Structure 1
Amino acid sequence: MGHSKERSSAGDPVRTLELLWRVPPSHGAGRGPKQRSSVEAVVAAAIAIADAEGIGALTMRAVATELGLTPMATYTYVPGKAELVDLMLDTVYVEMERADLTALPWRDRVTAVAAENRAMLARHPWVAYLPTTRPPLGPGLVAKYDHELRAFDGLGLDDVTMDAALTFVLGFVTSVARIAGDTESAATDSAMSDQQWWEHAAPLLEQVFDARRYPLAARVGAAAGRAHDAAYDAEHAYRFGLARLLDGLAQHIEGHRVSDVDR
Protein backbone atom coordinates (compact mmCIF):
# COMPACT_ATOMS: atom_id res chain seq x y z
CA MET A 1 0.00 0.00 0.00
CA GLY A 2 2.80 2.16 1.05
CA HIS A 3 5.94 3.69 -0.23
CA SER A 4 5.87 6.35 -2.91
CA LYS A 5 8.07 9.04 -4.39
CA GLU A 6 5.08 11.37 -4.50
CA ARG A 7 4.84 14.39 -2.22
CA SER A 8 2.42 17.22 -1.73
CA SER A 9 2.85 20.64 -3.39
CA ALA A 10 5.05 19.27 -6.19
CA GLY A 11 3.06 20.91 -8.98
CA ASP A 12 2.55 24.45 -10.19
CA PRO A 13 1.66 26.40 -7.02
CA VAL A 14 -0.70 28.89 -8.66
CA ARG A 15 -2.64 26.33 -10.67
CA THR A 16 -2.79 24.00 -7.67
CA LEU A 17 -4.27 26.72 -5.47
CA GLU A 18 -6.75 27.64 -8.21
CA LEU A 19 -7.92 24.02 -8.30
CA LEU A 20 -8.00 23.60 -4.52
CA TRP A 21 -10.16 26.68 -4.06
CA ARG A 22 -12.03 26.19 -7.38
CA VAL A 23 -10.88 29.56 -8.72
CA PRO A 24 -11.21 29.93 -12.52
CA PRO A 25 -7.80 29.58 -14.23
CA SER A 26 -5.85 32.85 -14.36
CA HIS A 27 -4.98 32.24 -18.03
CA GLY A 28 -8.68 32.43 -18.94
CA ALA A 29 -9.34 29.15 -20.75
CA GLY A 30 -12.05 29.24 -23.37
CA ARG A 31 -15.44 27.64 -23.01
CA GLY A 32 -14.72 24.69 -25.33
CA PRO A 33 -17.00 21.64 -25.76
CA LYS A 34 -19.33 20.44 -23.05
CA GLN A 35 -17.36 18.48 -20.49
CA ARG A 36 -18.25 14.87 -19.71
CA SER A 37 -16.85 14.86 -16.19
CA SER A 38 -15.63 17.20 -13.43
CA VAL A 39 -12.65 17.89 -11.19
CA GLU A 40 -14.56 16.24 -8.33
CA ALA A 41 -15.10 13.06 -10.35
CA VAL A 42 -11.43 12.91 -11.34
CA VAL A 43 -10.36 13.31 -7.72
CA ALA A 44 -12.86 10.70 -6.48
CA ALA A 45 -11.61 8.20 -9.08
CA ALA A 46 -8.00 8.88 -8.10
CA ILE A 47 -8.73 8.36 -4.39
CA ALA A 48 -10.51 5.09 -5.17
CA ILE A 49 -7.47 3.83 -7.09
CA ALA A 50 -5.03 4.86 -4.34
CA ASP A 51 -7.21 3.30 -1.62
CA ALA A 52 -7.45 -0.01 -3.47
CA GLU A 53 -3.96 -0.33 -4.96
CA GLY A 54 -1.72 2.27 -3.33
CA ILE A 55 -0.65 5.59 -4.73
CA GLY A 56 2.04 3.88 -6.79
CA ALA A 57 -0.76 2.60 -9.02
CA LEU A 58 -2.10 6.10 -9.60
CA THR A 59 -1.56 7.47 -13.10
CA MET A 60 -3.53 9.89 -15.20
CA ARG A 61 -4.19 7.02 -17.61
CA ALA A 62 -5.61 4.87 -14.77
CA VAL A 63 -7.93 7.71 -13.74
CA ALA A 64 -9.03 8.19 -17.34
CA THR A 65 -9.83 4.49 -17.66
CA GLU A 66 -11.81 4.57 -14.44
CA LEU A 67 -13.92 7.45 -15.78
CA GLY A 68 -14.19 6.21 -19.36
CA LEU A 69 -12.21 9.17 -20.68
CA THR A 70 -9.16 9.47 -22.87
CA PRO A 71 -5.95 10.38 -21.00
CA MET A 72 -5.83 13.71 -22.83
CA ALA A 73 -9.36 14.53 -21.75
CA THR A 74 -8.38 13.99 -18.12
CA TYR A 75 -5.78 16.75 -18.42
CA THR A 76 -8.55 19.26 -19.16
CA TYR A 77 -9.64 18.89 -15.51
CA VAL A 78 -6.28 18.53 -13.75
CA PRO A 79 -2.96 19.53 -15.36
CA GLY A 80 -0.98 16.60 -13.98
CA LYS A 81 -0.46 14.01 -11.28
CA ALA A 82 1.31 16.42 -8.91
CA GLU A 83 -1.70 18.73 -8.74
CA LEU A 84 -4.03 15.72 -8.53
CA VAL A 85 -2.25 14.41 -5.43
CA ASP A 86 -2.84 17.74 -3.66
CA LEU A 87 -6.51 17.65 -4.62
CA MET A 88 -6.78 14.10 -3.30
CA LEU A 89 -5.21 15.02 0.03
CA ASP A 90 -7.39 18.07 0.49
CA THR A 91 -10.54 16.10 -0.36
CA VAL A 92 -9.63 13.46 2.21
CA TYR A 93 -9.16 16.25 4.75
CA VAL A 94 -12.53 17.78 3.88
CA GLU A 95 -14.26 14.43 4.41
CA MET A 96 -12.72 13.72 7.82
CA GLU A 97 -15.14 13.53 10.75
CA ARG A 98 -14.51 16.27 13.31
CA ALA A 99 -15.75 15.91 16.87
CA ASP A 100 -17.07 18.86 18.82
CA LEU A 101 -14.12 19.64 21.10
CA THR A 102 -15.72 22.59 22.87
CA ALA A 103 -16.62 21.11 26.26
CA LEU A 104 -13.90 18.45 26.48
CA PRO A 105 -10.86 18.49 28.79
CA TRP A 106 -7.63 18.97 26.84
CA ARG A 107 -6.56 15.31 27.10
CA ASP A 108 -9.87 14.23 25.56
CA ARG A 109 -9.50 16.86 22.84
CA VAL A 110 -6.05 15.61 21.88
CA THR A 111 -7.26 12.01 22.04
CA ALA A 112 -10.13 12.86 19.69
CA VAL A 113 -7.80 14.57 17.20
CA ALA A 114 -5.47 11.56 17.26
CA ALA A 115 -8.39 9.16 16.73
CA GLU A 116 -9.76 11.21 13.82
CA ASN A 117 -6.40 11.10 12.05
CA ARG A 118 -5.93 7.42 12.78
CA ALA A 119 -9.34 6.65 11.28
CA MET A 120 -8.52 8.73 8.18
CA LEU A 121 -5.20 6.91 7.70
CA ALA A 122 -6.93 3.54 8.09
CA ARG A 123 -9.37 4.49 5.30
CA HIS A 124 -6.62 5.97 3.11
CA PRO A 125 -3.31 4.24 4.01
CA TRP A 126 -1.42 5.97 1.17
CA VAL A 127 -1.73 9.32 2.97
CA ALA A 128 0.70 8.15 5.67
CA TYR A 129 3.47 7.80 3.07
CA LEU A 130 3.08 11.19 1.38
CA PRO A 131 5.56 13.81 2.59
CA THR A 132 3.56 16.94 3.41
CA THR A 133 6.23 19.38 4.55
CA ARG A 134 4.65 21.69 1.98
CA PRO A 135 1.01 20.92 2.69
CA PRO A 136 -1.73 21.54 0.12
CA LEU A 137 -3.16 24.86 1.31
CA GLY A 138 -6.74 24.11 0.34
CA PRO A 139 -10.02 24.41 2.26
CA GLY A 140 -9.73 20.90 3.67
CA LEU A 141 -6.27 21.47 5.14
CA VAL A 142 -7.23 24.85 6.57
CA ALA A 143 -10.39 23.45 8.22
CA LYS A 144 -8.45 20.46 9.57
CA TYR A 145 -5.66 22.63 10.99
CA ASP A 146 -8.04 25.13 12.61
CA HIS A 147 -10.08 22.31 14.17
CA GLU A 148 -7.06 20.45 15.52
CA LEU A 149 -5.44 23.54 17.02
CA ARG A 150 -8.53 23.84 19.24
CA ALA A 151 -7.21 20.84 21.16
CA PHE A 152 -4.49 23.13 22.53
CA ASP A 153 -6.36 26.43 22.71
CA GLY A 154 -6.73 28.12 26.11
CA LEU A 155 -3.91 26.14 27.75
CA GLY A 156 -1.45 29.01 28.05
CA LEU A 157 0.69 27.87 25.13
CA ASP A 158 2.01 30.42 22.66
CA ASP A 159 1.10 30.03 18.99
CA VAL A 160 4.40 28.44 17.93
CA THR A 161 4.16 25.88 20.76
CA MET A 162 0.56 25.07 19.83
CA ASP A 163 1.68 24.33 16.29
CA ALA A 164 4.60 22.20 17.55
CA ALA A 165 2.34 20.25 19.92
CA LEU A 166 -0.07 19.44 17.09
CA THR A 167 2.83 18.38 14.83
CA PHE A 168 4.03 16.10 17.64
CA VAL A 169 0.63 14.39 17.91
CA LEU A 170 0.14 13.97 14.17
CA GLY A 171 3.68 12.66 13.73
CA PHE A 172 3.03 9.95 16.32
CA VAL A 173 -0.24 8.87 14.69
CA THR A 174 1.32 8.79 11.23
CA SER A 175 4.29 6.77 12.47
CA VAL A 176 2.06 4.08 13.97
CA ALA A 177 -0.07 4.03 10.81
CA ARG A 178 3.01 3.51 8.63
CA ILE A 179 4.25 0.55 10.68
CA ALA A 180 0.77 -0.95 10.71
CA GLY A 181 0.63 -0.55 6.93
CA ASP A 182 4.07 -2.09 6.49
CA THR A 183 3.05 -5.04 8.68
CA GLU A 184 -0.09 -5.61 6.62
CA SER A 185 1.85 -5.31 3.36
CA ALA A 186 4.46 -7.80 4.56
CA ALA A 187 1.75 -10.35 5.38
CA THR A 188 0.09 -9.80 1.99
CA ASP A 189 3.31 -9.90 -0.03
CA SER A 190 4.64 -13.02 1.71
CA ALA A 191 1.24 -14.77 1.77
CA MET A 192 1.77 -15.66 5.43
CA SER A 193 0.85 -14.13 8.78
CA ASP A 194 3.46 -12.88 11.24
CA GLN A 195 2.92 -15.99 13.33
CA GLN A 196 3.49 -18.25 10.31
CA TRP A 197 6.62 -16.30 9.37
CA TRP A 198 8.09 -16.70 12.86
CA GLU A 199 7.24 -20.41 12.88
CA HIS A 200 9.17 -20.82 9.61
CA ALA A 201 12.12 -18.78 10.87
CA ALA A 202 12.28 -20.24 14.40
CA PRO A 203 14.35 -23.40 13.69
CA LEU A 204 17.19 -21.43 12.05
CA LEU A 205 17.03 -18.65 14.65
CA GLU A 206 17.47 -21.21 17.41
CA GLN A 207 20.72 -22.29 15.76
CA VAL A 208 22.24 -18.85 15.19
CA PHE A 209 20.87 -16.72 18.05
CA ASP A 210 22.82 -16.83 21.32
CA ALA A 211 20.44 -15.91 24.13
CA ARG A 212 23.31 -15.83 26.66
CA ARG A 213 25.09 -13.13 24.67
CA TYR A 214 21.95 -11.04 24.18
CA PRO A 215 19.88 -11.81 27.29
CA LEU A 216 17.69 -8.69 27.22
CA ALA A 217 16.83 -9.14 23.55
CA ALA A 218 15.99 -12.79 24.17
CA ARG A 219 13.84 -12.17 27.25
CA VAL A 220 12.00 -9.03 26.13
CA GLY A 221 11.56 -10.18 22.53
CA ALA A 222 10.07 -13.46 23.68
CA ALA A 223 7.69 -11.71 26.06
CA ALA A 224 6.53 -9.25 23.40
CA GLY A 225 6.12 -12.03 20.87
CA ARG A 226 3.95 -14.05 23.26
CA ALA A 227 1.87 -10.97 24.09
CA HIS A 228 1.26 -9.93 20.49
CA ASP A 229 1.66 -13.14 18.47
CA ALA A 230 3.95 -10.96 16.38
CA ALA A 231 6.96 -8.68 16.62
CA TYR A 232 4.71 -5.62 16.53
CA ASP A 233 1.14 -4.84 17.52
CA ALA A 234 -0.14 -1.54 16.13
CA GLU A 235 -3.05 -1.30 18.57
CA HIS A 236 -0.81 -1.79 21.60
CA ALA A 237 1.77 0.64 20.22
CA TYR A 238 -0.94 3.25 19.66
CA ARG A 239 -2.46 2.94 23.14
CA PHE A 240 0.90 2.91 24.89
CA GLY A 241 2.35 5.73 22.81
CA LEU A 242 -0.70 7.99 23.11
CA ALA A 243 -0.69 7.65 26.90
CA ARG A 244 3.00 8.59 27.09
CA LEU A 245 2.44 11.44 24.62
CA LEU A 246 -0.35 12.87 26.77
CA ASP A 247 1.78 12.57 29.89
CA GLY A 248 4.60 14.45 28.19
CA LEU A 249 2.29 17.21 26.98
CA ALA A 250 0.80 17.46 30.48
CA GLN A 251 4.21 18.31 31.95
CA HIS A 252 4.74 21.00 29.34
CA ILE A 253 1.25 22.46 29.68
CA GLU A 254 1.31 22.48 33.47
CA GLY A 255 4.77 24.09 33.36
CA HIS A 256 3.39 26.92 31.25
CA ARG A 257 0.49 27.40 33.65
CA VAL A 258 2.85 27.63 36.63
CA SER A 259 5.00 30.17 34.76
CA ASP A 260 1.91 32.26 33.98
CA VAL A 261 0.93 32.30 37.66
CA ASP A 262 4.42 33.42 38.71
CA ARG A 263 4.40 36.42 36.41
Structure 2
Amino acid sequence: MSDSDGTGLSASLEAAWGLRERPGKGPRPGLSLERIVDAAVGLAAAEGLGAVSMGRVAKELGASTMSLYRYVGAKDELYVLMLDRAIGAPPPPPAPGTGWREALGAWAWQQRDALRRNLWALRVPVSGPPITPNSVAWWERGMVALDGTGLDEGAKISVILLVSGYVRSEAGLMADLDAAIRATGGTPQQVMSRHARTLRRLADPDRYPAVARMLASGVMDEPDDPDFEFTFGLDRVLDGIQVLVDRVTPG
Protein backbone atom coordinates (compact mmCIF):
# COMPACT_ATOMS: atom_id res chain seq x y z
CA MET A 1 0.00 0.00 0.00
CA SER A 2 3.00 2.35 -0.28
CA ASP A 3 2.81 5.38 -2.53
CA SER A 4 4.61 5.55 -5.84
CA ASP A 5 6.04 9.00 -4.95
CA GLY A 6 8.63 7.27 -2.79
CA THR A 7 7.55 8.16 0.76
CA GLY A 8 7.47 4.49 1.65
CA LEU A 9 4.40 5.14 3.80
CA SER A 10 1.16 3.22 3.74
CA ALA A 11 -1.94 4.94 2.40
CA SER A 12 -3.31 5.45 5.92
CA LEU A 13 -0.11 7.12 7.13
CA GLU A 14 0.03 9.32 4.05
CA ALA A 15 -3.54 10.32 4.82
CA ALA A 16 -2.48 11.19 8.38
CA TRP A 17 0.17 13.51 6.91
CA GLY A 18 -2.33 15.02 4.48
CA LEU A 19 -0.42 13.65 1.49
CA ARG A 20 -3.44 11.95 -0.03
CA GLU A 21 -7.17 12.27 0.11
CA ARG A 22 -9.12 10.25 2.62
CA PRO A 23 -11.23 7.57 0.96
CA GLY A 24 -14.48 9.02 -0.26
CA LYS A 25 -17.82 7.30 -0.10
CA GLY A 26 -17.30 3.81 1.21
CA PRO A 27 -19.47 0.77 1.56
CA ARG A 28 -20.84 2.19 4.79
CA PRO A 29 -21.77 5.94 4.95
CA GLY A 30 -19.95 7.80 7.68
CA LEU A 31 -17.04 5.40 7.98
CA SER A 32 -13.72 7.25 8.05
CA LEU A 33 -10.13 6.80 9.13
CA GLU A 34 -10.74 9.13 12.06
CA ARG A 35 -13.73 7.12 13.31
CA ILE A 36 -11.80 3.86 12.96
CA VAL A 37 -8.84 5.18 14.94
CA ASP A 38 -11.10 6.73 17.60
CA ALA A 39 -12.99 3.47 18.03
CA ALA A 40 -9.74 1.52 18.36
CA VAL A 41 -8.39 3.98 20.94
CA GLY A 42 -11.63 3.69 22.91
CA LEU A 43 -11.35 -0.10 22.92
CA ALA A 44 -7.72 0.01 24.07
CA ALA A 45 -8.54 2.48 26.85
CA ALA A 46 -11.45 0.38 28.09
CA GLU A 47 -10.12 -3.15 27.65
CA GLY A 48 -6.42 -2.97 26.81
CA LEU A 49 -4.51 -3.21 23.57
CA GLY A 50 -5.24 -6.94 23.29
CA ALA A 51 -8.91 -6.15 22.68
CA VAL A 52 -8.11 -4.29 19.47
CA SER A 53 -8.56 -6.23 16.25
CA MET A 54 -9.88 -5.21 12.87
CA GLY A 55 -12.94 -7.38 13.45
CA ARG A 56 -13.66 -5.93 16.89
CA VAL A 57 -13.25 -2.35 15.70
CA ALA A 58 -15.55 -3.05 12.77
CA LYS A 59 -18.15 -4.44 15.16
CA GLU A 60 -17.93 -1.32 17.33
CA LEU A 61 -18.62 0.78 14.23
CA GLY A 62 -21.35 -1.46 12.90
CA ALA A 63 -19.35 -2.11 9.75
CA SER A 64 -17.85 -5.14 8.06
CA THR A 65 -14.25 -6.05 8.74
CA MET A 66 -13.38 -5.84 5.05
CA SER A 67 -14.69 -2.28 4.83
CA LEU A 68 -12.00 -1.17 7.31
CA TYR A 69 -9.27 -2.29 4.94
CA ARG A 70 -10.17 0.54 2.57
CA TYR A 71 -8.78 2.87 5.24
CA VAL A 72 -6.17 0.86 7.18
CA GLY A 73 -4.07 -1.85 5.55
CA ALA A 74 -3.25 -3.89 8.66
CA LYS A 75 -3.54 -3.94 12.43
CA ASP A 76 0.06 -2.79 12.81
CA GLU A 77 -0.80 0.37 10.86
CA LEU A 78 -3.79 0.88 13.10
CA TYR A 79 -1.58 0.62 16.19
CA VAL A 80 0.69 3.37 14.87
CA LEU A 81 -2.26 5.65 14.14
CA MET A 82 -3.79 4.91 17.54
CA LEU A 83 -0.56 5.86 19.28
CA ASP A 84 -0.33 9.09 17.32
CA ARG A 85 -3.92 10.00 18.19
CA ALA A 86 -3.70 9.12 21.87
CA ILE A 87 -0.34 10.75 22.67
CA GLY A 88 -1.23 13.82 20.67
CA ALA A 89 0.94 16.81 19.87
CA PRO A 90 3.53 17.99 22.40
CA PRO A 91 2.69 20.99 24.61
CA PRO A 92 4.05 24.41 23.64
CA PRO A 93 7.81 24.79 24.02
CA PRO A 94 9.35 26.46 27.08
CA ALA A 95 9.86 30.21 27.06
CA PRO A 96 12.84 31.56 25.08
CA GLY A 97 16.04 31.46 27.09
CA THR A 98 15.12 28.28 28.96
CA GLY A 99 18.23 26.16 29.51
CA TRP A 100 18.59 22.82 27.76
CA ARG A 101 18.32 20.84 30.99
CA GLU A 102 15.05 22.46 32.05
CA ALA A 103 13.63 22.18 28.52
CA LEU A 104 14.59 18.53 28.09
CA GLY A 105 13.40 17.69 31.60
CA ALA A 106 10.01 19.28 30.88
CA TRP A 107 9.85 17.32 27.60
CA ALA A 108 10.46 14.08 29.51
CA TRP A 109 7.77 14.87 32.10
CA GLN A 110 5.28 15.78 29.40
CA GLN A 111 5.98 12.54 27.56
CA ARG A 112 5.57 10.56 30.77
CA ASP A 113 2.24 12.25 31.50
CA ALA A 114 0.98 11.42 28.01
CA LEU A 115 1.94 7.76 28.41
CA ARG A 116 0.40 7.49 31.87
CA ARG A 117 -2.87 8.81 30.50
CA ASN A 118 -2.76 6.03 27.89
CA LEU A 119 -1.08 3.07 29.57
CA TRP A 120 -2.16 0.73 26.78
CA ALA A 121 0.19 2.69 24.50
CA LEU A 122 3.14 1.14 26.33
CA ARG A 123 2.08 -2.23 24.87
CA VAL A 124 2.34 -1.02 21.28
CA PRO A 125 5.48 -2.63 19.79
CA VAL A 126 8.17 -0.18 18.72
CA SER A 127 8.34 -0.78 14.97
CA GLY A 128 10.73 1.97 13.91
CA PRO A 129 11.67 5.63 14.29
CA PRO A 130 9.00 8.38 14.55
CA ILE A 131 6.92 8.43 11.39
CA THR A 132 3.56 10.01 12.27
CA PRO A 133 2.87 13.76 12.53
CA ASN A 134 2.63 13.91 16.32
CA SER A 135 5.56 11.59 16.94
CA VAL A 136 7.77 13.70 14.67
CA ALA A 137 6.55 16.82 16.51
CA TRP A 138 7.65 15.28 19.82
CA TRP A 139 11.01 14.40 18.28
CA GLU A 140 11.38 17.95 16.98
CA ARG A 141 10.60 19.40 20.40
CA GLY A 142 13.23 17.22 22.06
CA MET A 143 15.87 18.10 19.48
CA VAL A 144 15.14 21.82 19.82
CA ALA A 145 15.65 21.54 23.59
CA LEU A 146 19.27 20.60 22.85
CA ASP A 147 19.99 23.68 20.73
CA GLY A 148 22.95 25.56 22.10
CA THR A 149 24.49 22.53 23.83
CA GLY A 150 27.27 22.17 21.25
CA LEU A 151 26.27 18.56 20.62
CA ASP A 152 26.35 17.40 17.01
CA GLU A 153 23.20 16.01 15.40
CA GLY A 154 24.17 12.40 16.00
CA ALA A 155 24.73 13.04 19.70
CA LYS A 156 21.40 14.85 19.93
CA ILE A 157 19.60 11.83 18.46
CA SER A 158 21.36 9.56 20.96
CA VAL A 159 20.33 11.83 23.84
CA ILE A 160 16.70 11.82 22.69
CA LEU A 161 16.73 8.02 22.43
CA LEU A 162 18.28 7.76 25.90
CA VAL A 163 15.75 10.05 27.58
CA SER A 164 12.69 8.71 25.76
CA GLY A 165 13.83 5.15 26.48
CA TYR A 166 14.09 6.00 30.18
CA VAL A 167 10.64 7.60 30.17
CA ARG A 168 9.04 4.62 28.44
CA SER A 169 10.80 2.09 30.68
CA GLU A 170 9.86 3.86 33.92
CA ALA A 171 6.28 4.45 32.83
CA GLY A 172 5.92 0.77 31.92
CA LEU A 173 7.41 -0.43 35.20
CA MET A 174 5.20 1.88 37.25
CA ALA A 175 2.14 0.78 35.29
CA ASP A 176 2.91 -2.87 36.00
CA LEU A 177 3.49 -2.15 39.69
CA ASP A 178 0.30 -0.10 39.93
CA ALA A 179 -1.68 -2.95 38.37
CA ALA A 180 -0.17 -5.45 40.80
CA ILE A 181 -0.93 -3.19 43.75
CA ARG A 182 -4.54 -2.66 42.66
CA ALA A 183 -4.94 -6.42 42.38
CA THR A 184 -4.10 -6.76 46.09
CA GLY A 185 -6.76 -4.27 47.10
CA GLY A 186 -4.28 -2.20 49.13
CA THR A 187 -2.46 1.08 48.82
CA PRO A 188 1.14 1.33 47.56
CA GLN A 189 2.36 2.06 51.09
CA GLN A 190 0.51 -0.94 52.52
CA VAL A 191 2.01 -3.19 49.87
CA MET A 192 5.53 -1.87 50.51
CA SER A 193 5.13 -2.31 54.27
CA ARG A 194 3.96 -5.90 53.83
CA HIS A 195 6.88 -6.55 51.52
CA ALA A 196 9.30 -5.10 54.06
CA ARG A 197 7.89 -7.31 56.84
CA THR A 198 8.23 -10.37 54.63
CA LEU A 199 11.80 -9.51 53.71
CA ARG A 200 12.73 -9.00 57.35
CA ARG A 201 11.69 -12.57 58.03
CA LEU A 202 13.49 -13.97 54.99
CA ALA A 203 16.63 -11.87 54.58
CA ASP A 204 19.23 -13.33 56.96
CA PRO A 205 21.60 -10.42 57.82
CA ASP A 206 24.60 -12.74 57.52
CA ARG A 207 23.64 -13.72 53.98
CA TYR A 208 22.06 -10.44 52.84
CA PRO A 209 23.77 -7.75 54.91
CA ALA A 210 23.08 -4.90 52.47
CA VAL A 211 19.37 -5.74 52.26
CA ALA A 212 19.21 -6.07 56.04
CA ARG A 213 20.76 -2.62 56.50
CA MET A 214 18.27 -1.13 54.07
CA LEU A 215 15.36 -2.73 55.92
CA ALA A 216 16.69 -1.59 59.28
CA SER A 217 16.83 1.99 58.02
CA GLY A 218 13.03 2.01 57.74
CA VAL A 219 13.11 3.53 54.26
CA MET A 220 10.50 1.07 52.98
CA ASP A 221 8.10 2.12 55.75
CA GLU A 222 8.22 5.81 54.88
CA PRO A 223 5.32 7.50 53.04
CA ASP A 224 5.70 6.97 49.30
CA ASP A 225 6.12 9.82 46.81
CA PRO A 226 4.77 8.39 43.52
CA ASP A 227 7.06 10.66 41.49
CA PHE A 228 10.25 10.14 43.49
CA GLU A 229 11.74 7.34 41.42
CA PHE A 230 11.05 9.08 38.11
CA THR A 231 12.51 12.35 39.40
CA PHE A 232 15.58 10.60 40.79
CA GLY A 233 16.24 8.63 37.62
CA LEU A 234 15.62 11.54 35.25
CA ASP A 235 17.98 13.76 37.26
CA ARG A 236 20.72 11.14 37.01
CA VAL A 237 20.17 10.78 33.25
CA LEU A 238 20.37 14.56 32.86
CA ASP A 239 23.51 14.61 35.02
CA GLY A 240 25.14 12.23 32.56
CA ILE A 241 24.09 14.35 29.59
CA GLN A 242 25.51 17.39 31.39
CA VAL A 243 28.91 15.68 31.49
CA LEU A 244 28.69 15.16 27.72
CA VAL A 245 27.66 18.76 27.10
CA ASP A 246 30.49 20.06 29.30
CA ARG A 247 32.95 17.92 27.35
CA VAL A 248 32.09 19.57 24.04
CA THR A 249 31.49 23.12 25.31
CA PRO A 250 34.50 25.44 25.04
CA GLY A 251 35.66 26.64 28.45
TM class by shorter-chain length? Answer: 0.7 to 0.9
Partner residue of 2:43 out of 49, 54, 77: 49
Give the SS at the match of 1:95: coil
Between the two proteins, the alignment pairs up a number of residues equal to: 243
Runs of 5+ consecutive residues of structure 2 not aligned to the other structure: 1-7
Task: Determine if the alignment matches structure 1 residue 60 to structure 2 residue 72.
Answer: no
> 1:114, CA displacement in angstroms?
0.8
> What are the superposed Cα offsets for residues 152-191 of structure 1, whole Å, 9 maximum, x if unpaired?
1121100000111111111111111011100111123344
Letter in 2 for 1:50: A
- Unaligned ranges ≥5, structure 1: 1-11
Give the residue type in structure 2 aligned to 1:256: V
Match for residue 16 of structure 2 among 15, 20, 29: 20
**Residue of structure 1 equivalent to 2:4:** none
**Partner residue in 1 for 2:5:** none
Given candidates 148, 163, 172, the residue that maps to 2:166 is 172
Contact persistence 2:27–2:67 (CA under 8 A):
no
Question: How far apart, CA to CA, are the structure 2 residues paired with 1:110 and 1:156?
Answer: 15
Which of 222, 240, 252 lines up with 2:244 in the alignment? 252
AA of the residue aligned to 1:124: N
Residue 104 (str. 1) matches residue 89 (str. 2): no
Counterpart contact for 2:37–2:78, Cα < 8 Å: yes
Q: Return the alpha-carbon distance in structure 2 between the equivalents of residues 159 and 173 of structure 1.
A: 21
Q: Alpha-carbon deviation of 1:117?
A: 0.3
> Residue type of the partner of 1:109?
A
Is the Cα–Cα contact under 8 Å of residues 200 and 212 in structure 2 kept in the other structure? no
Give the Å deviation of 1:108.
1.1
The verdict on how the C-alpha distance between 1:139 and 1:201 changes in structure 2, with shifts beyond 3 A counting, is: closer
Q: Is the contact between residue 44 and residue 120 of structure 2 (CA under 8 Å) also seen in structure 1?
A: yes
State the alpha-carbon separation in 2 of the partners of residues 239 and 206 from structure 1: 28
Counterparts of 1:92 and 1:98, CA distance in 2: 17
* Residue 81 of structure 1, aligned match among 71, 75, 86: 75
1:94, distance to aligned residue in structure 2 (A): 3.6
Query: What residue number does 1:72 align with?
Result: 66
Query: Does the C-alpha gap of structure 1 residues 74 and 17 become closer, same or farther in structure 2, counting only changes over 3 Å?
Result: closer
Aligned-residue offset at 1:244: 1.5
- Residues 189 and 223 of structure 2 are in contact (CA less than 8 Å); yes or no, is this contact kept in structure 1? no
1:224 to 205, 208, 219: 219
Amino acid at match of 2:240: G
Q: Distance in 2 between matches of 1:251 and 1:95?
A: 30
Aligned alpha-carbon RMSD (Å): 2.9
Question: Would the alpha carbon gap of residues 101 and 87 (structure 1) be closer, same or farther in structure 2, given more than 3 Å must change?
Answer: farther
CA, structure 1 residues 209+161, in 2 after alignment: closer, same or farther (shift >3 Å)? same
Measure, in 2, the Cα distance between the counterparts of 1:32 and 1:126. 30
What is the SS of the residue equivalent to 2:140? helix
Check 1:213–1:142 CA distance in 2 against 1; reply closer, same or farther (3 A cut): same
CA separation in 1, counterparts of 2:202 and 2:241? 43
Return 205-214 or 100-109, whichever deviates more: 205-214
Normalising by structure 2, we get a TM-score of 0.82
Give the alignment's TM-score, normalised by structure 1: 0.79
Residue 253 and residue 139 in structure 1: after superposition, are their counterparts in 2 closer, same or farther (change >3 A)?
same
**Alpha-carbon deviations, 1:191-240, whole Å to 9, x = none?**
444455466667765554313321211222453311255xxx65111111
Give distance in 2, aligned partners of 1:45 and 1:99. 30
